[in-house]
Copies of this chain bind each other. A is one copy, B any other.
């Protein structure tokens, strides 16, 4: 996955842009069946409209004697995404109102975007900004806005059921890696693994899209699919050195929430779970929103909210480069996504064929309370909830034990045809 990141990370993947398309088509080459949805500029999407394609041909800041201080060619982050074009000489004070810096890291260029509330703008390090002591500067931003199409890539893994689990990652953060390319490659990796396996029970839809407007565009043009979408997971920030954070959906008692939350602890003992909107906000908002209400969780590697460097130190800056992600961590996250999916596949309502308590010793599942009182107690606690009205996740949540521990017992009962 790191190779794909190396190849694509520095592209200017603004929300509707040629480089976004280049990256998406390159990713499409990784799987046999990615469908690319296109939504033209101006198309209404519920309360939104698709914006124009934005291109920045050239941009720089110079002293009046031609010394170049900032050049878009060096780093796409030097220009505010969707900046208006501008050419002219400005006073230092005027410049300062349009020159964005990072609030915490003096040597980083910040990521700034003004998709709808537009202005012209440049970004630079605090260090560079502090060094500006001339009275006037020349600004050149040769950007334009043209009709184009917003694109959403979709990989479908058809299951036995039309009931669908949606996995989403966004691709629109130019020249950055952990946020957001890491989520894209982990998601795509999981999709490839699923395609290579036997047919799952649920159908899975993997979506790669520009943040927010991409989700709104897709959902508003696929309303008929929404009722079948019974759960989802948003992926992002999965290469950096932090524990996994699972953010619950707007509907914390949904089967998706219960299942994934009860399964995570075993998969990463350092992980933690937080309620909706308490880890970080992304596309899961559109899926959880009124009129949609798909319980979509999110998985990321994010510092605790109280940390001064939340969500991670290099967030939304030019320091979010391949240097802060590792193949090992990406693989670990992919493994966790696949294990969460495995639990989700196993999360059925446990229908008892038996009545009364099971004749455990007669079926070889007896755990002696004299030698293993805890195991004995748990066996009975689980068995007595196998009544057709509890899912595996319901039992796990009710007993406050891992999904996997419940599954182990249920699987044993199932194998004995009980």
Contact = CB atoms under 8 A, between A and B. Distances in A.
Interface of A: 46-49, 116-117, 212, 215-216, 219-220, 223, 250, 277, 285-286, 288-293, 352, 354-359, 361-363, 366, 380, 383-388, 418
Given A47-B418, A48-B362, A117-B366, A355 B387 contact: no
B291 A355 contact: yes
A366 B114 CA distance: 13
A290 B387 contact: yes
A290 B384 contact: yes
B291 A47 contact: no
Contact of A291 (B117, B356, B359, B366): B356
B289 A357 contact: yes
A380 B418 CA distance: 48
Given A49-B362, A362-B49, A356 B219 contact: yes
A286 B380 CA distance: 12
Contacts of A358: 47
Contacts of A288: 384
A290 B49 contact: no
A361 B355 CA distance: 55
B49 A357 contact: no
A330 B383 CA distance: 35
A356 B418 contact: no
Given A250-B384, A362-B47, A362-B49, A354 B290 contact: yes
A215 B356 CA distance: 9
A352 B418 contact: no
A291 B49 contact: no
Contact of A46 (B117, B277, B356): B356
A308 to B, nearest CB: 15
A366 B355 CA distance: 52
Contacts of A220: 355-356
Contacts of A293: 387
A209 to B, nearest CB: 13
A360 to B, nearest CB: 9
22 contacts: A46-B355, A47-B354, A47-B362, A47-B363, A47-B418, A49-B359, A49-B362, A116-B362, A117-B361, A212-B357, A220-B355, A220-B356, A223-B355, A286-B357, A288-B384, A289-B355, A289-B356, A290-B383, A291-B352, A291-B354, A291-B356, A291-B387
A286 B46 contact: no
Nearest to A390: B290
A223 B355 CA distance: 10
A393 B109 CA distance: 45
Contacts of A285: 357, 380, 384
A366 B362 CA distance: 64
Nearest to A219: B356
Contact of A116 (B289, B352, B361): B361
Contacts of A380: 277, 285
Nearest to A118: B361
A47 B357 CA distance: 8
A212 to B, nearest CB: 7
B290 A46 contact: no
Contacts of A388: 290
Contacts of A385: 290
A359 B48 contact: yes
A285 B293 CA distance: 40
Contacts of A352: 290-291
A126 B172 CA distance: 76
Contacts of A117: 361, 366
A75 B356 CA distance: 34
Contacts of A359: 46-49, 116, 216
